[in-house]
Structure 1
Amino acid sequence: MIEIPTVAMTGVPDPLPEGVAILDVREPTEWEHGHIEGATHIPLMDLPQRLADIPDVPGGQVLVVCRIGGRSAQATGYLVQQGIDAVNLDGGMLEWEAAGRAMVSETGAPPQVV
């Protein structure tokens, strides 16, 4: 079994440094209600077909997020197997929101994690 690189919310710098790309693997409805600005959205089930859509961060890292960290852990394990330097956000978007980090919404309403 592959070890999943994981970071706690307290270990995520604010603002995010250059060289960190964010990959959100939640479903479209979840994304529309609230996500991290500048993140790339690829639902978990689409990831194998969309590897080329993951931002290439030379010498950098991909921070993978979902709602609570389960789907993003699966995605992180898969990405690591593909040779991508990825890390799972423990607690996901719920922890991001609880930490008061900025989010944007596609709905016209204030961003929220659903």
Structure 2
Amino acid sequence: MSPFFRRCSGRVTPEQAHRLVADGQAVLLDVRETQEWNAGHAPGALHLPLTRLMAGAPLPAAARGKRVVAICRSGNRSRTTADLLSAAGLEATDVTGGMAAWAWQGLPVTGVNGSGGVIA
């Protein structure tokens, strides 16, 4: 198991998350609400709001059987998501600082229409 992933849902930096996803070692799961996602998200990220996950929605098909890196705006909802997924036996972690830290580090953010996005 990668040192970035533990059943106890360790955390990764935005740069580590970007590298893990780019290398095909994990999928990025954005757990913010739809209006936040629409404003701006990481290219290639999957979307499932934490509220829907907690209501019993399944992971997106592309995330099933894969390592999951959860991300939200600041890191709180994604930490909860990583803990939930880890408790269910999945390899999951989250991004320290969330999308705010992701954007601050200069990592790509896109809007729904493919243009430059913002973090809402």
Instruction: Please give the TM-score of this superposition, normalised by the length of structure 1.
Output: 0.84
Structure 1, 3-12 or 72-81: larger mean CA deviation: 3-12
Shift of the 62–14 alpha-carbon distance from structure 1 to 2, 3 Å rule, reads: closer
Match of residue 85 from structure 1? 91
Gaps of 5+ in 1: none
Match of 1:106 among 87, 112, 115: 112
CA distance in 1, matches of 2:46, 2:21: 17
The share of aligned pairs that are identical, in percent, is 28
1:4-29 deviation per Cα after TM superposition (whole angstroms, max 9, x unaligned): 41112243328721131010000111
Three-state SS of the structure 2 residue aligned to 1:50 is coil
The 4+ residue runs of structure 1 with deviation greater than 6 A are none
Count matched residues: 111
What secondary structure sits across from 1:23 in the alignment? strand
The partner residue of 2:48 within 42, 51, 56 is 42
Q: RMSD of aligned C-alpha atoms?
A: 2.2
Could you tell me which runs of 5 or more consecutive residues in structure 2 were left unpaired when the two chains were aligned. Answer: 1-6
**In structure 1, which of residues 43, 53, 56 is the aligned counterpart of residue 64 of structure 2?**
56
Normalising by structure 2, report the TM-score: 0.81
Find the aligned partners of 1:75 and 1:38 in 2 and give their Cα distance: 19
Which residue, 68, 71, 82 being the options, matches 2:74? 68
